[in-house]
Amino acid sequence: MIFSDFSDFVHSPFPVIGSVVLAASIFVYVLCYLRSPLHKLPYPPGPPEKGLISGNQSDLPPSQPYLTYLEWGKKYGDVIHYRTYSKHTIVLNAYDDNVELLDKRSLIYSDRPYLAMMDLMGWLDFNHAFMHYGTKWRSHRRIFQQFFRLEVASKYQPTQAKKNLDLLYGLLTTPEDFIKHYRTLAAAIIMSITYGHDVTPKNDHFVDLAENAMSHMSGGFAFIDSLFHSFPIICHLPAFLPGLGFKRFALEGKRSVLDMLNIPLGIVQSKMKDGTAADCVAADLLESCQSDEQRDAIAGVIATAYAAGSDTTVSSIGTFFHAMTLFPDIQQRAKQEIDAVVGCEQLITYKDRLLLPYVEAVFREILRWRPVVPLSISHASTSDDVYNGYYIPKEIVTNVWAIAHNPEKYPEPETFDPSRFLDENGHLNDDNVGYVFGFGRRICPGRHLASDSVWLTIATVLQNFDIQKKRDSNGKEIPISGEYSDGLIAHPVPFECTITPRSTASRDLILEAVGKFST
């Protein structure tokens, strides 16, 4: 358990240590706060504090906090403040406020707060998504950009097309395993690009390593507003003590992280020695590696690429299957466009993207309707700041869900409606929902690769398959809950659907393409 307030903490099996640690931490916090030259300015409005020590801790829901923030915004405004223990947090519910602070003032808003749980699990050591802004962050980000910026991402399209074809073949042969197929697709693309590794359709060891680490990482964000996050000195207490279940969870996650970092890269190094390594990012970087420090940086950047690209792609593709099952009229309209523009004599390729505006609109609506990361990883400022007469503390959170579900921008935001991205002439408007990838210098650097992967899957599946609700033995449709998982990355809760080829021509098209690749 995580202590919910001071009373829980002092009545734990280590009351003396707990009381001293907490009292000292509060004293340091208050001292630092009072020394701020801006401390007399008010914080932005927010819910009244209920606990002298815990602040708004009891106001926070156990899951999906972005929905609570959205409701707070209706009452207190788009810029919201709340406190949990010593930690003051600002939530930005509106697009314009995010642009003003995180984009236009990126010089001071590009840092990260100290993320105790990520530190315990080892992510702060290598993942530039969580690193403090500085020399190491710039170095890792520079390496990442070298291989995944827009100008380079297009060279991976043949790999993406090949792995996407494997997905289509899987849907053709074992459609009931569609979730496994699209999870394999996401891992196969990034593992091939980064390590030159062709994943097995099921139970791939490298994929299991990474997914285990990602599961712990995403779950770690459930602890973000708990007591120990405000007073991270608690993290140094022994893991065997009662009440420190979070630390045992983190240590399990750290073992997974170390395996994800070292095992795949070690195999690439071995293959390089015997001359059998495939062309991949890891081999390119290791070719010029001259020190253990550089090797560690390479391992970190590549593991970050997997962490950033695989699970997010899985979420988006899962939402695609979810939405198409729920909204057959949308699915049919997209197919009509594909039939009119491309037909069924050849598989859709990336060169067709600009010719299919409604399919592009479906892609954008998937990103908007169910954002992959509904609540961003917090930004942190490196200096005091004032916005609209309010004092802005260190931690800033973007409520991506609120931006994507703003009824003024998107009428009836819960409705899945791709046409909101088209003008009266059927042309795409200028809303590319780029905000789902973040703001400022922390914007997702792998967004171009992710966009290409998800779009091709959407287009080719719509071209060749019908997706419908599954029926029970009485012919009655089995309902879909529509629920999503909690954590940093949101996934649709597993559901069933029926996936069938649209025609014999679709089946032959896929089999013919598979035959060409295998010869």
Q: Which CATH number is 336's domain given?
A: 1.10.630.10
Please determine, for residue 28, whether its predicted confidence score (pLDDT) is greater than 60. no
Phi and psi at residue 237, in whole multiples of 5°? -75, 150
Tokens of 45: 């409005």
Say if residue 517's pLDDT is above 80. Answer: no
Among residues 488, 378, 372, the alpha carbon closest in space to that of 436 is found at 372
Estimate the crossing angle of helix 157-173 against helix 447-464, to 10 degrees.
40
Give me the domain span that covers residue 359: 6-518
In which element (H, E) is residue 236 found?
none
User: Residues 289, 265: contact at Cβ < 8 Å?
Assistant: no
Beta carbons of 194 and 280 less than 8 angstroms apart: yes
Task: Answer for the pair 490, 373: CB distance below 8 angstroms, yes or no.
Answer: yes
Give the tokens for residue 213: 């680490």
Percentage above 90 pLDDT, the chain: 64
In a domain, 261, yes or no: yes
Q: Catalogue the E-assigned strands of 69-115.
A: 79-84, 87-92
Residue 372 has pLDDT above 70, yes or no: yes
Task: Give the pLDDT confidence score for residue 344 in this predicted structure.
Answer: 85
CB-based contact 484:472 (threshold 8 Å): no
Q: Is residue 43 part of a domain?
A: yes
- Is there a domain that residue 304 lies in? yes
Element (H, E) at 495: none
Alpha-carbon distance of 153 to 145, in angstroms, equals 10
**C-alpha distances in angstroms, 30 versus 25, 35, 379, 432?**
9, 9, 22, 43
Residues 172 and 203 sit within 8 Å (Cβ to Cβ): no
Q: Which residues are annotated as a binding site for heme?
A: 444
Residue 160 has pLDDT above 90, yes or no: yes
Asked if residues 365 and 420 have their Cβ atoms less than 8 Å apart, the reply is yes
Does 467 score more than 50 pLDDT? yes
> How far apart are alpha carbons 44 and 225 in whole angstroms?
19
Q: Coil, helix or strand for 115?
A: coil
Per-residue pLDDT band at 225 (split at 50, 70, 90): low
Say if residue 18's pLDDT is above 60.
no
In this prediction, residue 408 has a pLDDT band, given cuts at 50, 70 and 90, of very high
Secondary structure letter of residue 437 according to DSSP: G
**Domain annotation covers residue 55:** yes
Residue 166 has pLDDT above 50, yes or no: yes
Within a domain: 50: yes
Say if 1 falls within a structural domain. Answer: no
What pLDDT shows up at residue 202? 74
Does residue 229 register a pLDDT over 70? Answer: no
With 50 as the cut, is the pLDDT of residue 11 above it? no
Residue 192, both tokens: 């091939």
Give the CA radius of gyration of the chain.
24
Q: How far apart are CA 48 and CA 176, in angstroms?
A: 50
Determine the 3-state secondary structure of 55 from DSSP. Answer: strand
Q: Specify if 165 maps to a domain.
A: yes
CA distance 293 to 279: 23
Q: Are 436 and 372 in contact (CB under 8 A)?
A: yes
Q: Mean pLDDT throughout 253-262?
A: 88
Query: Who's near 292: CB < 8 A, 6+ residues apart?
Result: none
Binning pLDDT at 50, 70 and 90, where does residue 230 land? low
Known binding-site positions = 444
In 10 A of CB 205, how many CB atoms? 12
Q: How many domains, the chain?
A: 1
Give me 456's structure tokens.
């091709």
Q: What is the pLDDT of residue 515?
A: 85
Q: Which residues, 6 or more positions from 319, have their beta carbon under 8 angstroms from its beta carbon?
A: 366, 369, 370, 492
In a domain, 52, yes or no: yes
Paired with 386 in beta bridges are 391
Query: Against a cut of 0.85, is the pTM above it?
Result: yes
